[in-house]
Structure 1
Amino acid sequence: MRSLWTLFLSLACPLAAVTAKSSTGDSVLVVLDPSFERSNFSTFFAGLEERGYDLTFRAPKDAQPAVIENDHAQFSHVILFAPETKTYTQDITPQSLVSLLAKDTNLLIAVGPKQTPLTSLASEFSLILPPPGTPLISHFPERDAPATVIPVEIAASPVLSPDLPPVWFSGVPFALGSSPHIVPLLRAPPQSFAVDSESDSGADALFDAAEKGGEGLWAGSSLGLVAGFQTLTGSRATWVGSVELFSDEYFEKEAEPGVKSGNKQFASEVTAWTFKETNTLRIDSVAHHRVNETLPREMYTINDHVEFEAYISQFDAETSTWEPYPDIEDLQIEFTMLDPHIRTALKPVAGEPGKYGVAFRVPDRHGVFKFVIDHKRRGWSYLQSTTVVPVVPPRHDEYPRFLSPAWPYYAGAISTSIGFVVFSALWLAGDSQEAKKKSTKSE
């Protein structure tokens, strides 16, 4: 019996690995420009299908299948590989793409050197594209490839694996704005530059651009080549300045002699992040109660000792399940009324993976308070939670009978009372003796 069960698991595990999907769904619409052959990206698309995604292809001007129908998104993810298309059908507009993000649909968008509706949409994501016809150029390192085909070293990132081989890139860069929601995934090499010149003339092009006062000149690692954007609702959009980055040619091209480029793995990890396979967290539940109690209260009293707990999990793409996640080291909880009255660390609870907790004393201030978790880190899902609780003063029968700081007043009141009783007793006693003396004299 055990051998049969082992055989079943051995057969089921590979199947589970194949059918692992995104945390939001497995349907993908690929909008592919007719000028691109699907076979040129066969490895990339086959890799998505092997990971369990259901791909549907259409041209930019095709009406079906619709992206949005009856105000509902028809796909979990959309890939736009049409960087030179200037006209789309009515269901693919900058407004509809933004609405897709609001409906928790993720986007992978490739842009090119021509001005299209997608390039104007990029500014809404705090990405600034160079003027049309401005490719990225680099003459270093020396290589047989044209200056516009550049090997790019990958910097450390919470999204990508370390020690990835260089990635081949041929396309346009973009400047990264100041939005905190941008996640840089691939930056331009420090020695590269973009210039509005159709023919690369090396140093002459750079000199001419500098003579224009910097107009048309973009240079250095401040430029982005691939950048992600995560909305407050958790949906993700990734902008890529090159469709060729996903091509079979660049997948098989050697970055160094004997070393294949990292394009294939890079594309896999970028799509895994974009489609919310990786770095996807959620708050399963929160709980609050007084210390030494288990049930939450409808309201708390000032100076109560309260415990707050949060349960956090991460999506595991290999099993398509949510697993407890105990590795957040900088999670915080705020107890706030307009402004935070208490801000403290929400630490992992030993022996209970995925559980974070803290105990604190409610401030000496009554009103409507909130337990607030607002954890935002680049490359990770945002964790946000708000729980409202009233804080009230003690009832008349909840105040302590005696206050230790008031003992001087208690002593004064007691001594005054004792003195009054003694004085009254002495006064009364002295009055009766005088009356007796007068009566004896009169006799």
Structure 2
Amino acid sequence: METGLSTTSTRTVTVFKLHERDGIGGKQPHLPFLVISSKSSKGDSVLVILDPKLDRDNYSIFFNGLRERGYNLTFRSPKDPKPAIIEFEQPQFSHVILFAPETKSFASDITPQSLVQLLEKDTNILIALSPKQTPLTSLASEFSLILPPPGTPLISHFPERDTPENVIPVTPTRNEILSSTLAPVWFSGVPFSLQNNPLLVPILNAPAESFASDSEGDNGANALVDASEKGGEGLWAGSSLGLVTGFQTLNGARATWVGGVDVFSDEYAQKEVSEGVKSGNKQFGADVSAWTFQESLVLRVDSVSHHRVNETTPRETYTTNDRIVFSAEISRYNPKIATWEPYSGIGDLQLEFTMLDPHVRTALPPVAGQPGKYSVAFRAPDRHGVFKFVINHKRRGWTHLHSSTVVPLVPPRHDEYPRFLSAAWPYYLGAISTSLGFLIFSALWLAGDDRETKRGKSTKTE
């Protein structure tokens, strides 16, 4: 086991010293003590599982970049039993890098089940694949990635270049994970098709003119034409194929699948894509690792509050038709200063007031002048029951935000109903008019004419 840095704490300022045996690419002189902030919101310990066939010196730019950002790297081979990934059902590292694309047998602690368990325990994973069939390629299907048959790397004859057909310059599409000024990236490896899974996060897609083939010659293009004539069966081509794809679980853990480990190599990082233009592989590796290790695009809900309009304290129960104010405090992790900052940049945040189904769904906009605060006032529905304030914000690449607060909604008490209802005035007038009519009738009946009685008395007297 080799440890790149010895740290004393995570998520805080870390003091460390480089040793001669810790250098990548040979011995390095002793350096003075440096103070570097923790860059990941989940910790700085990284286990690098490196295939012995891969020379660590060929990836020194990528590994040194991680160290410069404050990560503590620990290296082991795929078959080494120590250091273990999980001990006593607890992850021993915050992040795991699997650079063993062609390894077919691993130590007992590295299994598809253990890797899934790492994600369940909020440990992030960066996995490199190859065109060969390995346990990792079988695991990819569990993450909604479909790989082509073994031995079919991605090739392209365009643009014209002096590199082999399977070494392709890929222009990244614009997204929030990668830098906006990223130069084309050299890629060599296997593509994969993406299933319709909302947890997938496309990072780098294949060029439109590229395709997967079992040969680097033009007969691969003929096979592509044959497949297209058969209705697309077996067609592995075009920009719909993924080369680097992320997967974010519901609890926030991230796994990134890379079609080839050479993307992180020093050769590709220093190779020019055109005369005088260096490739973007170095920055690409930094961007991908930053997203995977939860440095970038990380959000959290700090607190929520609710109360009636014109009040400040929450109630244990609310009454139907109450005017309720709901507020949420949201922050974003800033890796430059290793701290959480209020974030008001979410423009499509929503609040749901639900009882089985949403009875109220409304926008939850940011509050001007109060960074990180989102608030909305709404009228409670005219239906009593157990309701929940729910925030469920899911956007590709960003941390999923979820918050649920239970509150009872009760009907008004008998003394809380209004004395008179404006909508009931017709009934009130009907009742009043009926009562008045009855009184008038009674008065007239009681004070009616008694001539019939007097007539009867006069006849009897005669």
Q: TM-score scaled by structure 1?
A: 0.91
- Residue in 1 aligned with 2:220? 205
How many Å separate the matches in 2 of 1:295 and 1:16? 48
- In structure 1, the residue corresponding to 2:291 is in which secondary structure? helix
Q: Deviations over 1:192-228 (max 9, x none)?
A: 111123xx222x2221454465666511111111000
1:133 aligns with 2:151: yes
Contact 1:33 1:85 survives alignment (8 Å): yes
How many Å separate the matches in 2 of 1:306 and 1:432? 67
Pick from 114, 136, 139 the counterpart of residue 132 of structure 2: 114
1:368 aligns with 2:383: no
Pick from 295, 298, 301 the counterpart of residue 316 of structure 2: 298
Q: CA deviation at 1:391?
A: 1.2
Q: CA deviation at 1:367?
A: 1.3
1:84 aligns with 2:102: yes
Contact 1:148 1:171 survives alignment (8 Å): yes
Pick from 412, 415, 438 the counterpart of residue 430 of structure 2: 412
- Residue in 2 aligned with 1:256? 274
- Residue in 2 aligned with 1:49? 67
- Residue in 2 aligned with 1:100? 118
- Residue in 2 aligned with 1:6? none
Pick from 155, 162, 186 the counterpart of residue 180 of structure 2: 162
Pick from 359, 366, 371 the counterpart of residue 348 of structure 1: 366
- Residue in 2 aligned with 1:146? 164
How many Å separate the matches in 2 of 1:17 and 1:414? 85
Contact 1:188 1:224 survives alignment (8 Å): yes
1:317 aligns with 2:335: yes
Q: CA deviation at 1:390?
A: 1.4
Quick one: which amino acid aligns to residue 119 of structure 2?
L
- Residue in 1 aligned with 2:92? 74
Contact 2:271 2:278 survives alignment (8 Å): yes
How many Å separate the matches in 1 of 2:156 and 2:188? 10
How many Å separate the matches in 2 of 1:208 and 1:67? 43
Identity score, percent: 68
Quick one: which amino acid aligns to residue 168 of structure 2?
I
- In structure 1, the residue corresponding to 2:150 is in which secondary structure? coil
Q: In the superposition, relative to structure 1, how do residues 303 and 433 fare at CA in structure 2: closer, same or farther (>3 Å)?
A: farther
Contact 1:196 1:216 survives alignment (8 Å): no
Contact 2:38 2:44 survives alignment (8 Å): no
How many Å separate the matches in 2 of 1:433 and 1:315? 100
How many Å separate the matches in 2 of 1:249 and 1:308? 54
Quick one: which amino acid aligns to residue 279 of structure 2?
S
- In structure 2, the residue corresponding to 1:323 is in which secondary structure? strand
How many Å separate the matches in 2 of 1:27 and 1:162? 28
Contact 1:195 1:216 survives alignment (8 Å): no
- Residue in 1 aligned with 2:8? none
Q: In the superposition, relative to structure 1, how do residues 215 and 426 fare at CA in structure 2: closer, same or farther (>3 Å)?
A: closer
Quick one: which amino acid aligns to residue 194 of structure 1?
A
How many Å separate the matches in 2 of 1:26 and 1:18? 11
Q: CA deviation at 1:413?
A: 2.0
Q: CA deviation at 1:440?
A: 12
Contact 1:17 1:318 survives alignment (8 Å): no
- Residue in 2 aligned with 1:8? none
Q: Deviations over 1:37-96 (max 9, x none)?
A: 111111110110110100000000000000000000000000000000000011100000
The structure with more helix, counted as a fraction of residues: 1
Q: CA deviation at 1:419?
A: 3.3
- In structure 2, the residue corresponding to 1:219 is in which secondary structure? coil
Q: CA deviation at 1:420?
A: 3.2
1:339 aligns with 2:354: no
Contact 1:131 1:216 survives alignment (8 Å): no
Q: In the superposition, relative to structure 1, how do residues 191 and 417 fare at CA in structure 2: closer, same or farther (>3 Å)?
A: same
Quick one: which amino acid aligns to residue 205 of structure 1?
G
Q: Deviations over 1:97-145 (max 9, x none)?
A: 0000000000000001111110000001100111111111111111111
How many Å separate the matches in 2 of 1:17 and 1:249? 30
Quick one: which amino acid aligns to residue 191 of structure 1?
E
- In structure 1, the residue corresponding to 2:378 is in which secondary structure? strand
- Residue in 1 aligned with 2:345? 327
Q: Deviations over 1:377-434 (max 9, x none)?
A: 1110001111111111111111111111221222222233333334444444457999
Q: Deviations over 1:171-202 (max 9, x none)?
A: 111111111111111111111111123xx222
- In structure 2, the residue corresponding to 1:412 is in which secondary structure? helix
Quick one: which amino acid aligns to residue 64 of structure 2?
A
Contact 1:281 1:315 survives alignment (8 Å): yes
1:285 aligns with 2:300: no
Q: In the superposition, relative to structure 1, how do residues 173 and 61 fare at CA in structure 2: closer, same or farther (>3 Å)?
A: same
How many Å separate the matches in 2 of 1:296 and 1:329? 26
1:19 aligns with 2:19: no
What do you get for the CA RMSD once the two structures are aligned? Answer: 2.3
- Residue in 1 aligned with 2:196? 178
Question: Greater CA deviation, 19-28 or 94-103?
Answer: 19-28
Q: TM-score scaled by structure 2?
A: 0.88
How many Å separate the matches in 2 of 1:244 and 1:370? 49
How many Å separate the matches in 1 of 2:427 and 2:206? 75
Q: Deviations over 1:9-32 (max 9, x none)?
A: xxx9xx998323200000000000
How many Å separate the matches in 2 of 1:285 and 1:193? 48
How many Å separate the matches in 2 of 1:379 and 1:252? 28
Quick one: which amino acid aligns to residue 350 of structure 2?
Q
